Structure 1
Amino acid sequence: MPLQSSALMQLAGGMLDKQQYRMLSEFRHAMAGFLQFSQQTTHAAGLTPAQYQMLLHLQGFPGRDWATISELAERMQASHPATAALVKRAQQIGLVTKQRGREDGRCVEIHATPHARELIARVAGSHADELARLRGVFAAATSIRPAKR
Protein backbone atom coordinates (compact mmCIF):
# COMPACT_ATOMS: atom_id res chain seq x y z
CA MET A 1 0.00 0.00 0.00
CA PRO A 2 1.55 3.35 -1.03
CA LEU A 3 2.18 5.95 1.63
CA GLN A 4 -0.19 8.91 1.63
CA SER A 5 1.22 12.41 1.34
CA SER A 6 0.76 13.11 5.08
CA ALA A 7 2.58 9.88 5.97
CA LEU A 8 5.44 10.83 3.67
CA MET A 9 5.72 14.21 5.35
CA GLN A 10 5.92 12.50 8.76
CA LEU A 11 8.76 10.31 7.50
CA ALA A 12 10.71 13.24 6.13
CA GLY A 13 13.28 14.28 8.68
CA GLY A 14 14.67 17.06 6.55
CA MET A 15 15.72 17.97 3.05
CA LEU A 16 18.50 16.27 1.12
CA ASP A 17 20.78 17.96 -1.37
CA LYS A 18 21.81 16.55 -4.76
CA GLN A 19 24.99 14.98 -3.35
CA GLN A 20 23.03 13.17 -0.62
CA TYR A 21 20.52 11.84 -3.15
CA ARG A 22 23.45 10.61 -5.26
CA MET A 23 24.97 8.85 -2.23
CA LEU A 24 21.64 7.16 -1.43
CA SER A 25 21.31 6.14 -5.07
CA GLU A 26 24.83 4.67 -5.02
CA PHE A 27 23.99 2.82 -1.80
CA ARG A 28 20.81 1.28 -3.28
CA HIS A 29 22.72 0.34 -6.43
CA ALA A 30 25.49 -1.28 -4.38
CA MET A 31 22.94 -3.15 -2.24
CA ALA A 32 21.20 -4.51 -5.33
CA GLY A 33 24.56 -5.59 -6.73
CA PHE A 34 25.51 -7.20 -3.43
CA LEU A 35 22.22 -9.14 -3.31
CA GLN A 36 22.78 -10.33 -6.88
CA PHE A 37 26.36 -11.31 -5.99
CA SER A 38 25.03 -13.17 -2.94
CA GLN A 39 22.51 -15.14 -4.97
CA GLN A 40 25.11 -16.11 -7.57
CA THR A 41 27.65 -17.09 -4.91
CA THR A 42 25.20 -19.17 -2.89
CA HIS A 43 23.89 -20.93 -6.00
CA ALA A 44 27.45 -21.68 -7.15
CA ALA A 45 28.04 -23.38 -3.78
CA GLY A 46 24.87 -25.46 -4.22
CA LEU A 47 22.83 -23.50 -1.67
CA THR A 48 19.69 -21.43 -1.93
CA PRO A 49 19.78 -17.91 -0.48
CA ALA A 50 17.47 -19.08 2.34
CA GLN A 51 19.78 -22.00 3.16
CA TYR A 52 22.74 -19.63 3.23
CA GLN A 53 20.92 -17.27 5.58
CA MET A 54 19.94 -20.13 7.88
CA LEU A 55 23.50 -21.50 8.01
CA LEU A 56 24.94 -18.02 8.51
CA HIS A 57 22.63 -17.46 11.47
CA LEU A 58 23.54 -20.86 12.93
CA GLN A 59 27.25 -20.07 12.67
CA GLY A 60 26.80 -16.52 13.92
CA PHE A 61 24.33 -17.16 16.71
CA PRO A 62 25.50 -15.37 19.87
CA GLY A 63 27.01 -17.57 22.55
CA ARG A 64 26.57 -20.96 20.93
CA ASP A 65 26.81 -22.85 17.64
CA TRP A 66 23.17 -23.91 17.37
CA ALA A 67 19.73 -22.29 17.42
CA THR A 68 16.09 -23.27 17.77
CA ILE A 69 13.61 -22.95 14.93
CA SER A 70 11.99 -19.99 16.71
CA GLU A 71 15.36 -18.25 17.03
CA LEU A 72 16.17 -18.88 13.38
CA ALA A 73 12.74 -17.59 12.33
CA GLU A 74 13.32 -14.39 14.30
CA ARG A 75 16.81 -13.92 12.84
CA MET A 76 15.60 -14.59 9.31
CA GLN A 77 12.47 -12.48 9.81
CA ALA A 78 10.40 -15.40 8.57
CA SER A 79 7.42 -17.28 9.94
CA HIS A 80 7.91 -20.26 12.22
CA PRO A 81 6.23 -22.69 9.76
CA ALA A 82 8.37 -21.47 6.83
CA THR A 83 11.53 -21.80 8.92
CA ALA A 84 10.52 -25.26 10.14
CA ALA A 85 10.03 -26.34 6.51
CA LEU A 86 13.42 -24.88 5.55
CA VAL A 87 15.10 -26.74 8.42
CA LYS A 88 13.34 -29.99 7.45
CA ARG A 89 14.54 -29.70 3.84
CA ALA A 90 18.05 -28.79 5.02
CA GLN A 91 18.08 -31.85 7.29
CA GLN A 92 16.99 -34.09 4.40
CA ILE A 93 19.96 -32.96 2.28
CA GLY A 94 22.51 -33.16 5.09
CA LEU A 95 23.01 -29.49 5.95
CA VAL A 96 21.69 -29.60 9.51
CA THR A 97 20.93 -32.03 12.30
CA LYS A 98 18.34 -31.79 15.04
CA GLN A 99 19.15 -32.70 18.63
CA ARG A 100 17.02 -32.77 21.73
CA GLY A 101 18.00 -29.90 24.02
CA ARG A 102 20.71 -30.75 26.54
CA GLU A 103 19.35 -28.44 29.24
CA ASP A 104 15.69 -28.46 28.25
CA GLY A 105 14.44 -31.67 26.66
CA ARG A 106 11.48 -29.81 25.15
CA CYS A 107 13.87 -27.72 23.07
CA VAL A 108 15.15 -28.90 19.68
CA GLU A 109 18.62 -27.66 18.77
CA ILE A 110 19.45 -27.12 15.09
CA HIS A 111 23.15 -27.72 14.30
CA ALA A 112 25.04 -27.23 11.04
CA THR A 113 26.76 -30.37 9.78
CA PRO A 114 30.53 -30.35 9.09
CA HIS A 115 29.76 -30.22 5.35
CA ALA A 116 27.48 -27.19 5.87
CA ARG A 117 30.15 -25.47 7.97
CA GLU A 118 32.63 -25.90 5.11
CA LEU A 119 30.13 -24.44 2.63
CA ILE A 120 29.25 -21.50 4.85
CA ALA A 121 32.91 -20.70 5.50
CA ARG A 122 33.57 -20.50 1.77
CA VAL A 123 30.43 -18.53 0.89
CA ALA A 124 30.65 -16.17 3.87
CA GLY A 125 34.31 -15.51 3.07
CA SER A 126 33.31 -14.43 -0.44
CA HIS A 127 30.62 -12.20 1.03
CA ALA A 128 33.12 -10.61 3.43
CA ASP A 129 35.45 -9.85 0.51
CA GLU A 130 32.61 -8.27 -1.47
CA LEU A 131 31.50 -6.19 1.53
CA ALA A 132 35.06 -4.95 2.00
CA ARG A 133 35.04 -3.84 -1.63
CA LEU A 134 31.79 -1.92 -1.04
CA ARG A 135 32.79 -0.44 2.33
CA GLY A 136 33.26 3.09 0.95
CA VAL A 137 29.79 3.24 -0.60
CA PHE A 138 28.16 1.99 2.61
CA ALA A 139 30.15 4.37 4.80
CA ALA A 140 29.18 7.34 2.64
CA ALA A 141 25.49 6.45 2.82
CA THR A 142 25.53 6.10 6.60
CA SER A 143 27.05 9.57 6.96
CA ILE A 144 24.06 11.32 5.32
CA ARG A 145 22.37 13.80 7.64
CA PRO A 146 19.37 15.67 6.21
CA ALA A 147 19.15 19.41 6.74
CA LYS A 148 16.51 20.46 9.25
CA ARG A 149 13.41 22.13 7.87
Structure 2
Amino acid sequence: MNNRARRREPTEKEHYERLSSFRWQLRRFLRFSEDACRGEGVTMLQYQLLVHTQGFEEREWASIGELAERLQAQPHGVVALVTRCEQAGLVERRPNALDGRLVEVHLTAKGRRCLRRLAQLHREELASLAAVVEAASES
Protein backbone atom coordinates (compact mmCIF):
# COMPACT_ATOMS: atom_id res chain seq x y z
CA MET A 1 0.00 0.00 0.00
CA ASN A 2 1.51 3.35 -0.97
CA ASN A 3 1.64 6.45 1.24
CA ARG A 4 -1.04 8.28 -0.71
CA ALA A 5 -3.56 5.50 -0.15
CA ARG A 6 -2.97 5.57 3.62
CA ARG A 7 -3.27 9.35 3.91
CA ARG A 8 -6.52 10.69 5.30
CA GLU A 9 -8.18 13.37 3.19
CA PRO A 10 -8.40 16.72 5.02
CA THR A 11 -11.77 17.80 6.30
CA GLU A 12 -13.45 20.88 4.92
CA LYS A 13 -12.45 22.76 8.09
CA GLU A 14 -8.81 21.66 7.74
CA HIS A 15 -8.87 22.84 4.13
CA TYR A 16 -10.08 26.27 5.28
CA GLU A 17 -7.39 26.35 7.96
CA ARG A 18 -4.73 25.68 5.33
CA LEU A 19 -6.16 28.32 3.04
CA SER A 20 -6.27 30.80 5.90
CA SER A 21 -2.68 30.05 6.82
CA PHE A 22 -1.61 30.40 3.20
CA ARG A 23 -3.42 33.75 2.75
CA TRP A 24 -1.97 35.03 6.03
CA GLN A 25 1.59 33.98 5.15
CA LEU A 26 1.20 35.39 1.64
CA ARG A 27 0.05 38.72 3.07
CA ARG A 28 2.97 38.68 5.52
CA PHE A 29 5.33 38.12 2.57
CA LEU A 30 3.76 40.98 0.62
CA ARG A 31 3.99 43.29 3.64
CA PHE A 32 7.64 42.30 4.06
CA SER A 33 8.20 43.07 0.38
CA GLU A 34 6.50 46.47 0.64
CA ASP A 35 8.67 47.39 3.63
CA ALA A 36 11.89 46.10 2.03
CA CYS A 37 11.18 48.03 -1.18
CA ARG A 38 10.37 51.19 0.75
CA GLY A 39 13.71 50.78 2.55
CA GLU A 40 15.46 50.80 -0.84
CA GLY A 41 13.51 53.83 -2.02
CA VAL A 42 11.39 52.02 -4.61
CA THR A 43 7.81 50.83 -4.79
CA MET A 44 6.85 47.18 -4.94
CA LEU A 45 5.76 47.65 -8.56
CA GLN A 46 9.14 49.15 -9.43
CA TYR A 47 10.86 46.16 -7.81
CA GLN A 48 8.64 43.74 -9.73
CA LEU A 49 9.46 45.54 -12.96
CA LEU A 50 13.19 45.20 -12.19
CA VAL A 51 12.75 41.46 -11.54
CA HIS A 52 10.75 40.93 -14.72
CA THR A 53 13.35 42.65 -16.92
CA GLN A 54 15.59 39.75 -15.94
CA GLY A 55 12.94 37.03 -16.23
CA PHE A 56 13.45 35.94 -19.82
CA GLU A 57 15.95 33.27 -20.79
CA GLU A 58 19.06 34.22 -22.73
CA ARG A 59 18.51 37.98 -22.52
CA GLU A 60 18.62 40.71 -19.94
CA TRP A 61 15.74 42.91 -21.03
CA ALA A 62 12.00 42.81 -21.50
CA SER A 63 9.55 44.56 -23.80
CA ILE A 64 6.68 46.72 -22.59
CA GLY A 65 4.22 44.01 -23.68
CA GLU A 66 6.09 41.31 -21.78
CA LEU A 67 6.26 43.49 -18.68
CA ALA A 68 2.54 44.22 -18.96
CA GLU A 69 1.81 40.48 -19.09
CA ARG A 70 4.06 39.67 -16.13
CA LEU A 71 2.67 42.55 -14.07
CA GLN A 72 -0.89 41.81 -15.21
CA ALA A 73 -1.26 45.48 -16.15
CA GLN A 74 -2.26 47.52 -19.16
CA PRO A 75 0.62 48.48 -21.50
CA HIS A 76 -0.02 52.22 -21.07
CA GLY A 77 0.30 51.81 -17.29
CA VAL A 78 3.57 49.94 -17.75
CA VAL A 79 4.88 52.73 -19.99
CA ALA A 80 4.21 55.17 -17.14
CA LEU A 81 5.91 52.82 -14.65
CA VAL A 82 8.95 52.46 -16.94
CA THR A 83 9.10 56.24 -17.23
CA ARG A 84 9.15 56.59 -13.42
CA CYS A 85 11.86 53.91 -13.17
CA GLU A 86 13.83 55.65 -15.91
CA GLN A 87 13.58 58.97 -14.06
CA ALA A 88 14.84 57.21 -10.91
CA GLY A 89 17.85 55.91 -12.88
CA LEU A 90 16.84 52.24 -12.54
CA VAL A 91 16.16 51.35 -16.19
CA GLU A 92 16.76 52.62 -19.69
CA ARG A 93 14.89 52.09 -22.93
CA ARG A 94 16.68 50.94 -26.07
CA PRO A 95 15.35 50.25 -29.55
CA ASN A 96 15.52 46.61 -30.61
CA ALA A 97 18.27 46.02 -33.19
CA LEU A 98 16.05 43.82 -35.39
CA ASP A 99 12.70 45.57 -35.00
CA GLY A 100 12.78 49.32 -34.45
CA ARG A 101 9.15 49.28 -33.25
CA LEU A 102 10.11 47.13 -30.25
CA VAL A 103 11.42 48.93 -27.18
CA GLU A 104 13.70 46.99 -24.83
CA VAL A 105 13.74 47.87 -21.13
CA HIS A 106 17.20 47.30 -19.61
CA LEU A 107 18.46 47.70 -16.05
CA THR A 108 21.05 50.37 -15.34
CA ALA A 109 23.92 49.74 -12.92
CA LYS A 110 21.83 51.40 -10.20
CA GLY A 111 18.88 49.16 -11.07
CA ARG A 112 21.07 46.05 -10.88
CA ARG A 113 22.38 47.03 -7.44
CA CYS A 114 18.86 47.69 -6.18
CA LEU A 115 17.57 44.41 -7.61
CA ARG A 116 20.47 42.43 -6.14
CA ARG A 117 19.88 43.79 -2.62
CA LEU A 118 16.13 43.29 -2.70
CA ALA A 119 16.29 39.85 -4.31
CA GLN A 120 18.61 38.62 -1.55
CA LEU A 121 16.17 39.82 1.12
CA HIS A 122 13.26 38.23 -0.71
CA ARG A 123 15.04 34.87 -1.14
CA GLU A 124 15.21 34.42 2.61
CA GLU A 125 11.52 35.28 3.10
CA LEU A 126 10.44 33.17 0.16
CA ALA A 127 12.04 30.08 1.66
CA SER A 128 9.77 30.38 4.69
CA LEU A 129 6.72 30.81 2.46
CA ALA A 130 7.46 27.68 0.40
CA ALA A 131 6.40 25.23 3.12
CA VAL A 132 3.12 27.06 3.63
CA VAL A 133 2.36 26.96 -0.10
CA GLU A 134 3.05 23.24 -0.17
CA ALA A 135 0.80 22.56 2.81
CA ALA A 136 -2.02 24.67 1.35
CA SER A 137 -1.90 22.78 -1.96
CA GLU A 138 -2.26 19.34 -0.37
CA SER A 139 -5.73 17.96 -0.68
Query: What is the TM-score when the length of structure 2 is the normalising length?
Result: 0.88
For residues 33 and 80 of structure 1, the distance between their equivalents in structure 2, rounded to whole angstroms, comes to: 29
Provide the C-alpha distance between the structure 1 equivalents of 2:71 and 2:58, rounded to a whole number of angstroms. Answer: 18
Q: Which residue among 111, 116, 123 is the counterpart of 1:121?
A: 116
Measured in 2, the distance between the counterparts of 1:61 and 1:92 equals 24
Residue deviations 1:47-79 (CA, integer Å, cap 9, x gap)? 101100100101222331101111111110000
Cα distance in 2 between the residues matched to 1:108 and 1:136:
39
| Offset from partner CA, 1:107-126 (integer Å, 9 cap, x none) | 11110101111111110111
Structural RMSD (CA): 1.4
Amino acid in structure 2 at the alignment position of 1:31: L
Q: Which moved more, 1:27-36 or 1:97-106?
A: 97-106
1:31-50 matched pairs, under 5 angstroms: 31-50=26-45
The answer for the alignment partner of 2:104 in structure 1 is: 109
List structure 1 segments (4+ residues) > 4 angstroms apart after TM superposition: none
User: Distance in 2 between the 1:16 and 1:77 partners?
Assistant: 34
Aligned-partner SS, 1:110? strand
**Pick aligned residue for 1:23 from 1, 6, 18:** 18
| % identical aligned pairs | 44
Q: Tell me the distance in 2 between the aligned counterparts of 1:19 and 1:45.
A: 39
Structure 1: any 5+ residue segments left out of the alignment?
Answer: 1-14
- Which letter does structure 1 place at the counterpart of 2:126? L
Aligned match of 1:63: 58
Structure-1 separation of matches of 2:135 and 2:79 = 38
- Matches for 1:72-91 after TM superposition, within 5 Å: 72-91=67-86
Equivalent residue, structure 1, for 2:4: none
> Unmatched 5+ residue regions in structure 2?
1-9
Counterpart Cα distance in 2 of 1:139 and 1:127: 18
How far did 1:20 drift? 1.6
